[in-house]
């Protein structure tokens, strides 16, 4: 018996990647399935979600795409997680509104909330919490979201989780205190040197981006002048310590509070 390979709708994937909504509509009307897959088993909905094509995500969902269907050879990648990991909040909202389960886990144990917290996407975190994501569900590393957010240094995410009654306040406070005062750029650089070796990570650039009520430090390894690897972290740990102390009823000395404020400024 001859096996006939499933058709690959390359035009549909190209239209999704380019964000050409009119082309996507035309192809769907001409018979391209909303659940089309590529040669590697990747779904067209996952492609749209991970690239932040929110309008295309809505079209595919309206045409019958399953928001909870896994993508890839092992079906281990979820559209919701792909969108959340990259901070594509509108795509996240579209998937959730279509019935995506906010706490569904990918192949390696990540939920959309775990991705969004660790990547520092506060707007995406708020959307997931609004749709019922569990603020107590730990990530694959065992950290609950509040502790992961404190480690990341994202004040808006810590605040959003506290408003939803997230557990782990004492552990999060200890995490934020441990990071307060550290040279984040130096710590990230050391991690890259450890991963790539002193020679491989010799050419490193550091960028500081004002965003999300603070500063994000981005450290990248360059190969032939182009970024080859990198890491990033936010620097709101001092403000997070103050916020968590308030939530726990801990009174810090006025001098210490003033020092934190000056450091944040």
Q: How confident is the model at residue 257 (pLDDT cuts 50, 70, 90)?
A: low
> How are strands ordered across the β-sheet holding 226-234?
204-211, 214-223, 226-234
Q: Which of 80, 63, 84 is nearest to 71 (CA)?
A: 80
pLDDT at 68 over 50: yes
Rounded to two decimals, the pTM is 0.90
Helices marked H in 69-206: 79-85, 89-97, 112-119, 122-130, 145-152, 155-163, 169-179, 184-200
Q: Judge whether 44 and 35 are in contact, CB under 8 Å.
A: yes
Q: How confident is the model at residue 202 (pLDDT cuts 50, 70, 90)?
A: low
Q: Which of 154, 124, 148 is nearest to 136 (CA)?
A: 148
Tokens representing 57 are 């995500």
Q: Which fold has domain 10-129?
A: 1.25.40
Give the per-residue pLDDT at 192: 85
Q: So where are the chain's domains?
A: 10-129
pLDDT in tens, 32-62: 999 999 999 999 999 999 999 999 999 999 9
Across the chain, what does the average pLDDT equal? Answer: 91
- Burial of residue 173 (number of CB atoms within 10 Å: 0-12, 13-18, 19+): buried
Q: Taking residues 149-178, what's their average pLDDT?
A: 98
User: What is the percent of the chain with per-residue pLDDT over 70, rounded to a whole number?
Assistant: 89
pLDDT at 158 over 90: yes
Q: Judge whether 179 and 154 are in contact, CB under 8 Å.
A: no
CA 161 – CA 248 distance, rounded (Å): 14
Name beta bridge partners: 214: 211
- Burial of residue 55 (number of CB atoms within 10 Å: 0-12, 13-18, 19+): middle
């Amino acid at each position: 018996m001859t096996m006939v390979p499933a058709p690959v709708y390359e035009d549909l994937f190209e239209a999704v990647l380019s964000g050409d909504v009119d082309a996507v509509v035309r192809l769907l009307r001409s018979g391209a399935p909303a659940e089309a897959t590529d040669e590697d088993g990747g779904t067209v909905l996952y492609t749209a979600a991970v690239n932040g094509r929110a309008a295309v995500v809505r079209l595919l969902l309206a045409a019958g795409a399953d928001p909870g269907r896994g993508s890839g050879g092992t079906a281990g990648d979820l559209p919701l997680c792909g969108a959340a990991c990259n901070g594509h909040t509108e795509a996240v909202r579209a998937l959730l509104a279509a019935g995506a389960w906010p706490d569904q886990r990918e192949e390696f144990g990540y939920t959309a909330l775990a991705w969004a917290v660790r990547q520092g996407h506060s707007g995406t975190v708020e959307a997931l919490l609004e749709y019922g994501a569990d603020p107590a569900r730990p990530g694959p590393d065992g950290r609950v979201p509040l502790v992961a957010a404190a480690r990341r240094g994202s004040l808006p995410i810590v605040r959003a989780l506290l408003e939803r009654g997230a557990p782990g306040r004492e552990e999060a406070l200890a995490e934020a205190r441990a990071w307060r005062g550290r040279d984040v750029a130096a710590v990230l650089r050391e991690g890259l040197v450890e991963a790539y070796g002193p020679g491989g990570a010799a050419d490193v650039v550091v960028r500081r981006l004002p965003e999300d009520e603070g500063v994000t430090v981005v450290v990248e390894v360059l190969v032939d002048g182009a970024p080859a690897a990198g890491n990033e972290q936010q620097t709101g740990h001092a403000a997070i310590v103050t916020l968590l102390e308030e939530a726990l009823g801990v009174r810090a000395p006025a001098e210490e509070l003033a020092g934190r404020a000056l450091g944040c400024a």
